[in-house]
Amino acid sequence: MSSPALLRHPEDSMPATAVAEAGPAPAVIAQPTTPPSFGTLALRWYRLNRAGLRATAIGVISLLAFLLVWHLLTTYRVVFFVRFTNVPSPLAVYASFTKAIHDPKFLMHIVLSCRRIFIGFSLAAIVGVPLGLIMGRFKLVHEIIFPVAEVLRPIPAIAWVPMAIMLWPTNEQSIVFITFLGSFFPILVNTLHGMSLVDPVLVRAAQCLGARERSIFREVYFPASLPHIFTGLTVGMGVAWVSLIAAEMISGQYGIGYFTWEAYSLVQYADIALGMIAIGVLGLGSSVLIRGAGRLVMPWRST
Amino acid sequence: MSETIASTPKGHIEVKNFSLAYETIEGAVQAVTDTQIHVKPGEFVSIVGPSGCGKSTLLNAVAGFLKPTTGIVTVDGERVNGPSAERGMVFQQYSLFPWKTVRENVEFGLKMRGMPRSQRERAARTLLGLAGLEAFEKHYPEKLSGGMKQRVGIVRALATGPKVLLLDEPFGALDAQTRVIMQQILTNMWQRLKISVLFVTHDIDEAIFLSDRVYCMTARPGSIKAEIPIPLERPRQQSMMMSSEFLALRRGLMSLIREESLKAMGGEINDMGMQGLSIELHGHSLADVI
């Protein structure tokens, strides 16, 4: 590396040193070989994805085992501290599921719950993320809003039900409001946390490249906070479902939470389990959606 | 590309009667006092000194991140009032934007200036080509080695065609081999662009090898203890570091810094004491000696 040529002919030798340093980089790996056969490709794919395949296989087995234990406990009506006497069996739940998917009323419950989540959660994100960003950037806004937020934050969304009924003219609005509250605080708090962790050196780097306040906000603070914003959205989505189901059970007329509660009142035991499983699947689906969105928005974090 | 390479040297840095103090509960703490430095257009100047002597503070004041308590910082006669693209900066921690690809990082300054996308893409590619990084333009910084990251950092700082380049221990986190290569890349770029460079380091060899002039700072509160011209001819080669001329400069600078480092460590250990300690230590544990 200490060759005199390097200094005398910088034009020629600089890329050369660069390539030397970049030796083990991906560009060099590609070797001209004949295309491998299908068998070797399949084998290679298997080797590379072995861990993933293993996890999937164990996951499937574990779910099947859960169903089996459930089946055995209910078939033999086990009473051992907890009573499985009235608990529906998986087969009974499956039967009520096949009936329910042809029932427009059940589908309406699901659609309504999803709509409430969508509106409440979206509002929480639309208000919570920008508010968190602004609070993180402007001390005065933080000083004004933070104390109020800290007092309201520990109040569980369910405790807001009576107040929400008084505040909003319709039941629908108060349920959406509760969903909003449930997801709002996790989103706000995580956005704030993300803002507080932004590396000040990156802000300096942007400044001495000529960035002004608005550009710094858009190009540094916002992307730097995105990982925490998405943590907030994921947590917020979970709490949104918790709050929604509670609100629907107390004050609703429709929705999957109401469906589950109504099944209990009407002694439709299989429908209770069906409602619970539906909530689980919907909650899982929405957090998968958010994770996917996160990967789309933050390509630099994948792999 | 033509606008990023200047034909005449520019960037005359002047720091006059500079001091900087921090307010604390016990009162003002003087970080840097009574300091004058200057960098002539196209000159490569380093600042060395014991850790905590305020060399980075001085550099940050030239960058415009810190306001001097007294004194004035000017570049080409204009007073420095805040950070600007005229003074490019390279940081020890690379400080590349992790959410931007290598090329987007280099484009950033041009984007802030309002250059249209296609034009700045072309400019960024040319610059990356010069640094041997064209193959990595679409990579995110996380995937790069330390040396590559810092090359991107330097190219990014140079992309806007600054008058001066400020570097704050830019190679401190790199291994020895990479550091040598980076020093040569930096020398090359400096010689082509003919801009002024102010370089902060604690590595004496690096300072002598790169610079036209070296400022040595005192322990806190920092001020200029000595100004050492480096008359070594250019282009400089690695082998020069063994020459008697180089070693003499090194010895001189080393003793200056050691004096200050000892002061910075508390002051009561004098040179004799250190020698005594090292003799006593042969065959004894530290506990025996103390």
Question: A239: closest CA among A110, A119, A120?
Answer: A120
- For the segment A210-245, what is each residue's pLDDT rounded down to a tens digit? 999 999 999 999 999 999 999 999 999 999 999 999
Q: pLDDT value at position A15?
A: 43
Parallel, antiparallel, or unpaired: how do β-strands B213-217 and B44-48 relate? parallel
Whether residue A65 sits in one domain with residue A150:
no
Residue B252 has pLDDT above 70, yes or no: yes
Number of domains in chain A: 2
Whether residue A235 sits in one domain with residue A97:
yes
Q: Does B177 contact A6 at a Cβ distance shorter than 8 Å? A: no
In the numeric block, the tokens 């030796």 are attached to A23
Range with lowest mean pLDDT among A9-18, B91-100, B180-189: A9-18
In the numeric block, the tokens 């009924």 are attached to A165
Under a CB-based contact definition with an 8 Å cutoff, are residues B190 and B165 in contact?
yes
Q: Classify each residue of B184-199 as buried b or exposed e, where b means 16 or more C-beta atoms within 10 Å of its C-beta.
A: bbbbbbbeebebbbbb
In a domain, A21, yes or no: no
B41 close contact with A: CB closer than 8 A: no
Give chain A's mean pLDDT: 88
Whether residue A192 sits in one domain with residue A148:
yes
Q: pLDDT value at position B148?
A: 93
DSSP letter, residue A219: I
- For the segment B184-203, what is each residue's pLDDT rounded down to a tens digit? 989 988 988 889 999 999 89
Token readout for A148 is 């109020």
Q: pLDDT value at position A38?
A: 87
- For the segment A79-126, what is each residue's pLDDT rounded down to a tens digit? 888 898 889 999 999 999 999 999 999 999 999 999 999 999 999 999
CA distance B223 to B215: 10
What is the percent of chain B with per-residue pLDDT over 70, rounded to a whole number?
A: 88
CA distance B97 to B153: 10
Quote the minimal CA–CA distance from A297 to chain B in Å: 10
ipTM greater than 0.90? no
Pairs across A and B, CB distance < 8 A? 119
How would residue B109 be classed by pLDDT, with cut points 50, 70 and 90? very high
In a domain, A179, yes or no: yes
In a domain, A12, yes or no: no
CATH number of this structure's domain B13-289: 3.40.50.300
Whether residue A103 sits in one domain with residue A83:
no
Whether residue A176 sits in one domain with residue A43:
no
Q: Does A22 contact B93 at a Cβ distance shorter than 8 Å? A: no
- Provide the angle, in degrees to the nearest 10, between the axes of the packed helices A50-75 and A38-48: 70
Select from A37, A61, A87 the last residue of a domain: A87
Under a CB-based contact definition with an 8 Å cutoff, are residues A186 and A232 in contact?
yes
User: In terms of CA atoms, which chain B residue is nearest residue A18?
Assistant: B132
CA distance A183 to A242: 10
Give chain B's mean pLDDT: 86
Where do the structural domains in chain B lie, given as residue ranges? 13-289
- For the segment A135-153, what is each residue's pLDDT rounded down to a tens digit? 999 999 999 999 999 999 9
The number of residues in chain A equals 303
* CATH code of A199's domain: 1.10.3720.10
Residue A1 has pLDDT above 90, yes or no: no
Token readout for A212 is 């002004």
How would residue B7 be classed by pLDDT, with cut points 50, 70 and 90? low
In a domain, A216, yes or no: yes
Q: Does B145 contact A21 at a Cβ distance shorter than 8 Å? A: yes
In a domain, A3, yes or no: no
Domain carrying residue A54: 28-87
In a domain, A278, yes or no: yes
CA distance B160 to B88: 8
What is the percent of chain B with per-residue pLDDT over 90, rounded to a whole number?
A: 61
Q: pLDDT value at position A10?
A: 39
- Taking contacts as CB-CB distances below 8 angstroms, the residues of chain A near B184 are 1, 6-7, 17
CA distance A132 to A149: 11
Whether residue A237 sits in one domain with residue A193:
yes
How would residue B6 be classed by pLDDT, with cut points 50, 70 and 90? very low
In a domain, A281, yes or no: yes
Among A29, A202, A208, the residue to mutate for chain B (most B Cβ within 10 A)? A208
Q: pLDDT value at position A205?
A: 95
Whether residue A76 sits in one domain with residue A171:
no
A203 close contact with B: CB closer than 8 A: no
CA distance A46 to B125: 39
Distances (CA, A) of B8 to A7, A29, B124: 21, 43, 22
- For the segment B41-73, what is each residue's pLDDT rounded down to a tens digit? 999 999 998 888 889 999 999 999 999 999 999
Q: pLDDT value at position A30?
A: 53
**Residue B16: φ, ψ to 5°:** -120, 135
Whether residue A43 sits in one domain with residue A141:
no
- For the segment B129-160, what is each residue's pLDDT rounded down to a tens digit? 888 898 999 999 999 999 999 999 999 999 99
- Taking contacts as CB-CB distances below 8 angstroms, the residues of chain A near B135 are 22, 25, 27
Question: B100: closest CA among A209, A124, A66, A52?
Answer: A209
For residue A47, give the H/E element and its range.
helix A38-48
